[in-house]
A = this chain, B = another copy of it.
Amino acid sequence: MARNVRLGVIGLGNMGTGHTKNILDGKAPGLEVTAIADIDKGRLDWARENLPESIALYATADELIKSGSCEAVLICVPHYDHPAIAIAALEQDLHVLCEKPAGVYTRQVREMNEAAAKKPELVFAMMFNQRTNPVYRKMHEIVTSGSMGAVKRTNWIITNWYRTQAYFDSGSWRATWAGEGGGALINQAPHNLDLWQWICGMPKMVQAHCHFGKWHDIEVEDDVTAYVEYENGATGVFITSTADAPGTNRFEVTLEWGKLVCEDNKLYQWKLSQNERELCYSSQEGFARLEVDYSEVPTEGENSQHNGVLRAFAESILTGSPSVAEGAEGINSLTLSNAMYLSTWLNQPIELPLDEDLFLAELNKRRATSRLKDTASVVLDTEGTYGTKPDK
């Protein structure tokens, strides 16, 4: 590449600090950090002492966005502020890479998407780093190709997001309705919700059982079981938790021609010699024995994670190549988690598209009585904690 993209990092917490270090270490060629903003003076002091002098420092996102010191921004602030900052940056003609989740409620994210749609010349991407994982890329390819027919059932047990009480105590905003806007579904599982919809499509109905503060002293959910139904009649289950030890990460998709199982970061395929839907009605045997070809599916490429998303973002700006995850797709996983909350709060199934105003009204009830915790903020080392390693 001829030149580097001048990047402004907004928010120097756990994620912003990690990304900045990686870029400075040359792990995301094509990007150069030229500006940083944080409303916490302590974090700017840390940046002044530890980062190159060439990086311009700003006390607010707004100052950074209007400064002209960068052509693209990486948004790593608390979830509620993602859409507003993204919209401000887009309006200033800056490319945007936004940390997950896209926001906390879909109304604000829809507005962000509308702002992005008005500037198609800008790159707008989401930090869904698990989309770089070759096993999920392969699953996406097989399922969406149609080579195994229609999806009949999806099932993801993704409970390996273990967190102790100390984790939740490490920031007053953590695991609060007012500060973070949710728990496991908004902080840990958005990756999996995104992959689930990326591979299997969006359901039309969600019924969920979120358990709030079940395993930890927090006001948000740390245990979720959700059931969904898709337009074509397929059903699905999604289970997540931050208290299972060791947790499980097993993603199964049943299709007309067999099934796929992703577990321990390996992908296995059972492929029938014939479409089950045809066999069911043509076989004369009550207990038909099906011919099935079982194999581990080879996958290609490295799992480049966050740095891969950063590199693709730079390349997209410089060459027009596609992002790992388009920004406009961030609303899908958020719609799923919003629907899971709403289903639990109202104790009923929720049809999609979601009633975004009803959801916001219900969320605001929780925000109104939310208790920010009286704890000092700690910057945690998040290395190797993104749930991509198998537990076995």
Q: Are B227 and A245 in contact (CB under 8 A)?
A: no
A153: chain B residues at CB < 8 Å are 159, 239, 241, 244
* Chain A, interface residues (CB within 8 Å), range: 35 or more
A272 contacts the other chain (Cβ, under 8 Å)?
yes
Q: Are B237 and A237 in contact (CB under 8 A)?
A: yes
Copies in the assembly, this chain: 2
A168 to B250, CA, bound (A): 32
Kindly name the residue among A152, A157, A166, A286 whose own CB sees the greatest number of chain B CB atoms within 10 A.
A286
The residue from B239, B276, B294 contacting A245, defined by CB atoms under 8 A apart? B276
Q: Are B166 and A284 in contact (CB under 8 A)?
A: yes
Q: Are A280 and B215 in contact (CB under 8 A)?
A: yes
Q: Are B244 and A155 in contact (CB under 8 A)?
A: no
Nearest-Cβ distance from residue A214 to partner chain B, whole angstroms: 7
Q: Are A259 and B252 in contact (CB under 8 A)?
A: no
Given A286-B163, A380-B286, A270–B246 Cβ distance below 8 Å? yes
A280: chain B residues at CB < 8 Å are 164-165, 215-216, 243
A25 contacts the other chain (Cβ, under 8 Å)?
no
The residue from B215, B288, B349, B385 contacting A164, defined by CB atoms under 8 A apart? B288
Kindly name the residue among A248, A287, A292 whose own CB sees the greatest number of chain B CB atoms within 10 A.
A287
Kindly name the residue among A162, A294, A378, A380 whose own CB sees the greatest number of chain B CB atoms within 10 A.
A162
Given A155-B239, A246-B258, A279-B164, A382–B225 Cβ distance below 8 Å? no
Interface membership of chain A positions 266-277, coded 1 if the CB is closer than 8 angstroms to chain B and 0 otherwise: 000010100010
A392 contacts the other chain (Cβ, under 8 Å)?
yes
Q: Which of A93-132 contact B (CB under 8 A)?
A: none
Q: Are B225 and A166 in contact (CB under 8 A)?
A: no
A227 to B207, CA, bound (A): 10
A288: chain B residues at CB < 8 Å are 162, 164, 166
The residue from B211, B245, B261, B347 contacting A279, defined by CB atoms under 8 A apart? B245
Q: Are A292 and B159 in contact (CB under 8 A)?
A: no
A168: chain B residues at CB < 8 Å are 286
Q: Which of A251-305 contact B (CB under 8 A)?
A: 252, 254, 258-259, 261, 270, 272, 276, 279-281, 283-288, 290, 292, 294
A9 to B276, CA, bound (A): 37
Kindly name the residue among A164, A235, A283, A392 whose own CB sees the greatest number of chain B CB atoms within 10 A.
A164
A306 contacts the other chain (Cβ, under 8 Å)?
no
Nearest B residue to A241 via CB reads B153
The residue from B165, B233, B287 contacting A163, defined by CB atoms under 8 A apart? B287
A167 contacts the other chain (Cβ, under 8 Å)?
yes
A172: chain B residues at CB < 8 Å are none
A239: chain B residues at CB < 8 Å are 153, 155, 237
A209 contacts the other chain (Cβ, under 8 Å)?
yes
Interface membership of chain A positions 191-216, coded 1 if the CB is closer than 8 angstroms to chain B and 0 otherwise: 00000000000000001010100111
Given A164-B279, A259-B244, A252–B157 Cβ distance below 8 Å? yes
The residue from B209, B246, B258, B283 contacting A227, defined by CB atoms under 8 A apart? B209
Nearest B residue to A215 via CB reads B280
Kindly name the residue among A170, A244, A347, A380 whose own CB sees the greatest number of chain B CB atoms within 10 A.
A244
A223 contacts the other chain (Cβ, under 8 Å)?
yes
A239 to B392, CA, bound (A): 24
Nearest B residue to A380 via CB reads B286
7 contacts between A and B (CB under 8 A): A164-B285, A164-B288, A166-B286, A207-B207, A211-B235, A245-B272, A245-B292
Q: What are the 3 tightest A-B residue pairs by CB atom distance, in nearest-first order? A: A167-B286, A164-B283, A245-B276
